[in-house]
Structure 1
Amino acid sequence: MKKLLFIFSLLLVATAVNAQIDAPQPSPKAKAMQTVGLTEVTLEYSRPAKREREIFGNLVPFGKLWRTGANQNSMITFSDDVKFAGTDVKAGTYAVYTKPGKKEWTVMLYSDTNNWGNPGTWDEDKVAATATVETSKLKNAVESWTMAINELTMEGAHLQMMWDDTMVAVPFTVPTAAKTQASIDKVMAGPAANDFYSAATFYLDANKDLQQAYEWISKAVEARPEAYWMHRKKSLIEAKMGNKSAAIATAKTSLSLAQKANNMDYVKLNTDSLKEWGVKM
């Protein structure tokens, strides 16, 4: 009996040690995703509350580097290259740091996002962009720190940051026109060689219309005459269509191109096929 009580006590202790209490965080995490034109923009940050405190100039001092929220540094991710307040910024994820002031804020995008709060040592080389923007007074106080992407147009938006009675907004632009034009040009130009190759490969593997597959692979080879792998696929389609002489000629072309490219895998594939089709090597 004593042994059972001892084991039961150990189980109680182990349970108490491993138990975790679920409770709301004082600065809960937030994540917001917004499409701007054709660019995906994501915000990840923590949201401290005002709780009747004086925020800017007190809890958040003026003129000092701020993590721009709570806990881990706030982050913004752009899926495309953008212009942040006129500065070119590469696609990627950046920490958002600020220096709040009475009338204006300095907002910085920092390439090192692996910080809990401010970096131990600030590195100017990691500053991807800096913007100085004026503050705006809000009519109604915002209780919890808020970041948002607003003022949307096809070409850009504003990164807005709000807390208490203060708001700052940084404009950024996205490459909608360039991406749209590239898409238009691609569609209007018709399928590319790789598109014809992929379609022909599918038809061959799925044992579908071989004549259609042959037409597609012929267009691919015409557009990419140096592509030995496309000639290889054409030879296989010709062989499956029963045109062995054409398959042999095409395989020899693929073999020669593969040898020039020093791709021994395709050299062997073509050599094996030629032997199978009765060519002495």
Structure 2
Amino acid sequence: MRTVILSAALAAALSLPAQQTMVKPYQPSPGASVTQTVGNSTVKIDYSRPGVKGRKIWGGLVPFGEVWRTGANNATVITFSDPVKIAGKDLPAGSYAFFAIPGPKAWTLIFNKNIKQWGAYDYKPTEDALQVEAMPEVLAAPEEYLQFSVHLKSLEALRVELAWEKLSVGFDVTLDTPGLYWAYLEKTLAGARPEEHVPFLQGARYCLNNDVHLDKGMEWIDRSLKAKEVYSNLDTKARLLNKAGKKAEALATLQKAIDLATAAKTPQEYLDGLAKAKAEWSAK
């Protein structure tokens, strides 16, 4: 009986197809991605990079007046982790297929909600989230392989550029970085454990360094000190007190920070910074 069972099991195993060897296809238009983070917000572009290869691109391989996938293979996808403005127009957070309708003088740039597309064959205008107009510019030097880039203009403004062959086209992105980061910070610290001193210190430092929400910064630094008193949170509280005009209390707190930092053999550069603050506050 045991022989029969073993024979049946062997026959079943032999009848199963052998695992297939998988060969990744060669991609003449390799995939690429570019990411830029500002505050706690991220812009990411996933795309493929076709080459010019001696071909006429604009008005040729890429016809004027037709929807184009802005790359090769799958449609290019742009992801915004937070709400943004594109050329001054609102666009909710999310991922979008990025298409364009090139023209000899002006382009239409399209953010489409259907990101699961090969090329632009299934493109439907009814799925558009936003369209904006853009003007192409002549590149100083030709770009053989299509390339997206994200240029950081400020902590609240980006410029996304597509460059290929002899042209580039782009759009401006603006974000409420301070507001978005503040919302993130409040939400994160609302869930922090009372015994964690570092997150509350980080929140207080943000308030101090950016001169915003100073009352909340004081609340957070007190929670940090309650969890664990160290020279770094004493230093931060001293600076918040000084900013609030409470010089005597600020100097007393700063001295405690100096004593702990000295005992901890903190790098001299940090100690010098504390000494400088003490001298400046005392002179006023």
Contact 1:37–1:156, Cα closer than 8 Å, also in 2: no
Work out which of the residue numbers 80, 99, 102 in structure 2 matches 1:100. 102
Match of 1:41 in 2: 43
Q: CA–CA distance in 2 between the matches of 1:169 and 1:36?
A: 19
Structure with larger Rg: 1
Match of 1:70 in 2: 72
Once the two structures are overlaid, the 10-residue window that deviates more, 18-27 or 70-79, is: 18-27
Match of 1:199 in 2: 194
Work out which of the residue numbers 51, 54, 75 in structure 1 matches 2:53. 51
Match of 2:31 in 1: 29
Q: CA–CA distance in 1 between the matches of 2:123 and 2:26?
A: 32
Gaps of 5+ in 1: 1-13, 201-215, 217-281
2:180 aligns to what SS in structure 1? Answer: helix
Match of 2:118 in 1: 116
**Normalised TM-score (structure 2):** 0.58
Q: CA–CA distance in 1 between the matches of 2:37 and 2:110?
A: 22
Provide closer, same or farther for how the CA distance between residues 37 and 137 of structure 1 changes in structure 2, counting only shifts above 3 A: farther
Equivalent position amino acid for 1:164 in 2: E
Q: Does 1:179 pair with 2:180?
A: yes
Q: CA–CA distance in 1 between the matches of 2:39 and 2:194?
A: 31
Tell me by how many angstroms 1:22 deviates: 5.0
- The count of corresponding residues between Structure 1 and Structure 2 is 184
Match of 1:264 in 2: none
Match of 2:255 in 1: none
Q: CA–CA distance in 1 between the matches of 2:181 and 2:115?
A: 31
Q: Residues 1-281 of structure 1: matches in 2 within 5 Å?
A: 18-21=20-23, 24-120=26-122, 122-124=124-126, 126-182=127-183, 186=186, 195=192, 198-199=193-194
Provide closer, same or farther for how the CA distance between residues 121 and 139 of structure 1 changes in structure 2, counting only shifts above 3 A: closer
1:199 aligns to what SS in structure 2? Answer: coil
Equivalent position amino acid for 2:78 in 1: I
Q: CA–CA distance in 1 between the matches of 2:39 and 2:101?
A: 29
Once the two structures are superposed, residues 210-236 of structure 1 have per-residue CA deviations (whole angstroms, 9 ceiling, x without a partner) of: xxxxxx9xxxxxxxxxxxxxxxxxxxx
Provide closer, same or farther for how the CA distance between residues 199 and 36 of structure 1 changes in structure 2, counting only shifts above 3 A: closer
Percent identical across equivalent pairs? 33
Tell me by how many angstroms 1:105 deviates: 1.0
Contact 1:36–1:152, Cα closer than 8 Å, also in 2: no
2:153 aligns to what SS in structure 1? Answer: coil
Equivalent position amino acid for 2:154 in 1: T
Contact 1:158–1:169, Cα closer than 8 Å, also in 2: yes
**Normalised TM-score (structure 1):** 0.58
Once the two structures are superposed, residues 83-132 of structure 1 have per-residue CA deviations (whole angstroms, 9 ceiling, x without a partner) of: 111111111100001001112211010011111111435132x2111110
For the aligned residue pairs, the C-alpha RMSD in angstroms reads 3.2
Tell me by how many angstroms 1:25 deviates: 0.9
Q: CA–CA distance in 2 between the matches of 1:131 and 1:108?
A: 7
Q: CA–CA distance in 2 between the matches of 1:163 and 1:171?
A: 18
1:178 aligns to what SS in structure 2? Answer: helix
Match of 2:205 in 1: none
Tell me by how many angstroms 1:68 deviates: 1.0
Contact 1:160–1:169, Cα closer than 8 Å, also in 2: yes
Contact 2:65–2:102, Cα closer than 8 Å, also in 1: yes
